[in-house]
Amino acid sequence: MTRSTASFICLLVAAIWGGGFIATDAALDTFDPFTVLWIRFLGAALVSWIILFIKKTPVNKTAIKKGSLSGVFLYLAFAFQTFGLDLTNTGQNAFLTAVNVVIVPYIAWFLFRRRPQSLQILASFICLIGIGFLSLTKGSFHFSLGDGFSLICAFFFACHFISLEYSTKGQNVALINAIQMTTASILSIPGCFLLETMPAEVSASAIMSCLYMILIATWLAFQLQTLAQKYIDASSASVLLCTESLFANLFGFLLLHEEKTWMMLLGGLLIFLSVLMIEGEGVFKKIKISRGCQKDKKIVRY
C-alpha cells in the first residue's frame, strides 16, 4: 500500500466517524454513555473474531501484548472523553480532545527518537486552530474539571495513535484490531454495569444506531485505521483523522440542516489546509529521494 492510499483511508475513517456522531447521538437517547461504549466495542470484537475464525488466523503472544496495549489506550481515551463531555460543553470537549494532534509528534519524538518534520508540526497547529473555530463558536473558553478530563482524553488518544504504529509492525492488522476491541470491551464492563442501568425498552431506531456504531463506526473504522497506520506515521495520521470534526459539521449541515457561521467555514478551510500540508510533506519526501537518486546516477556515470 502506498502512503497516498493510507492517507485516503485515514480521511475515509474520519468521514465515517463524522457521520457516526448522528448514530451515537441517537443511541444515547436510549443507553447511558458507558453502556454505549460496551455495546460498540463488544459488538466490534465479536465481528472481528468471527472473521478471524473463518479465516483460521493464528493468534500469537506478541499480537496479544501489542493489541492489548492499544486497547487499554483506546478505552482510557473514550472513558475520559465521556467523563469530560458530562462535565463540560460539547464544543470545548471536541476542541480539547483534538489537542492530541499536537501531542502525537512529540510523543513519537520522545519514544522513537524520530524528530517530526517542521511541516507536520505546523500542520498540526493549523488543524487545531481550525477545530477551535469549528468547536468554540458558541461562547468564550473557560477551563473546568471536565476540560481537564478532556485533555487527559487527548493524551490517551495520542498514545493510541503511537501504539497502533508500534502494534502493526509485523503483525496481522485484523488480529490487532480484534484484540484491541476485546480489551476495550472488557474494560468497559465496570462502568456499564456498576454506574449505569439497562433501559426497560429499546426502540428500533436505537438498535439500528447501535448496528451502525458496531459495524461501521467501530469495527470497519478501526480496522481501516489500524491498516492505514501500518503505512503512515502517527503524526500524519493524527492530523488526517482529526478532520472528523470537519466531516461532522458537514454532515450536520447536509442531513440535520444545522446553521454554520463564517467562523466555522474558516475553521473548515484551515483543517483542509492542514491536510494538504500533510500530503505535501509526503510529496517533498518523494522529490528529495528522487533528487538523491539522480545524484547517485551522476556519480556512477563519472
In this predicted structure, what is the pLDDT of residue 301? 39
DSSP 33-89: HHHHHHHHHHHHHHHHHHHHHHHT----HHHHHHHHHHHHHHHHHHHHHHHHHHHS-
Consecutive 10-residue averages of pLDDT for the chain (302 residues): 86 83 75 88 95 93 93 91 70 68 78 74 80 65 70 87 86 93 94 86 86 90 90 82 75 68 76 73 48 45 38
In this predicted structure, what is the pLDDT of residue 139? 55
Distance of CA 141 to the CA centre of its chain: 24
List, in order, residues 6 or more apart from 110 with CB less than 8 Å away.
none
In this predicted structure, what is the pLDDT of residue 275? 73
CA distance 211 to 131: 28
For 152-180, give one letter per residue: b (16+ CB within 10 A) or e: bbbbbbbbbbbbbbbbbeebbbbbbbbbb
List, in order, residues 6 or more apart from 95 with CB less than 8 Å away.
128, 131, 132, 135, 136
Cβ contact 80:156 at 8 Å: yes
In this predicted structure, what is the pLDDT of residue 297? 43
In this predicted structure, what is the pLDDT of residue 280? 63
List, in order, residues 6 or more apart from 51 with CB less than 8 Å away.
174
List, in order, residues 6 or more apart from 31 with CB less than 8 Å away.
39, 198, 199, 206, 210
Cα 271-248-208 angle, rounded to 5 deg = 155
In this predicted structure, what is the pLDDT of residue 135? 65
CA distance 105 to 58: 33
